[in-house]
Structure 1
């Protein structure tokens, strides 16, 4: 069920990105808020960070962390083009989907890589399933923001 929710949010965001023009994505979602392009970069960086967090390997695009996770849109840092970000989004999600498809139900209840074995013994809810649910909700939030761009 959680994997289905993750897949649904990924698919909805991907479809939304296909329906919006480059100009729409460049616009702020609301006055003084992030642009759709920045939110795409942010969402890609968050998903890319899942690879090491869930034990699937290293990030594909570690350079996105500084630009889209540690700094605001107006930081002045150089950002990849929209075309590059769309490509990164597709590649990261394809990589994640391949790994997620191989997981067994019991794998989801193992600790993720940001929690020590000692802490996990005390807090078993800090598992891979909890991370996936959290990230699906996070993606849903940003999908809602990007949806505002459809009317522009």
Structure 2
């Protein structure tokens, strides 16, 4: 963890490069540092995935409305200040990425951050973490 999942209306497919947005958001996450200067999110656990909605309805349906929903899920342990900074910087990156679309189309963006303090199950199978934990 962390995992950032992006759901978006498919009418954005021809207007923006979602792969570029995914990479930029992953980079923003990897740049984050806590109050002691430590990396907030592990490199090997950082994932950003984007999916166009197969079916959607936005607002009253009378326009070519677009929507982007981002949900960052992270484990417990970050301070409120770090959580806010992460949210602010991710949202700033999203706003910069979609800025050209705002001139051409009505678009809404929502970013939510969830913390998973009481996980019932958290199974993992990965060989990515050892690659980045070599020090």
Q: Normalising by the residue count of structure 1, what TM-score does the alignment of the two structures yield? A: 0.31
Whose helix proportion is higher, 1 or 2? 1
Higher relative strand content: 2
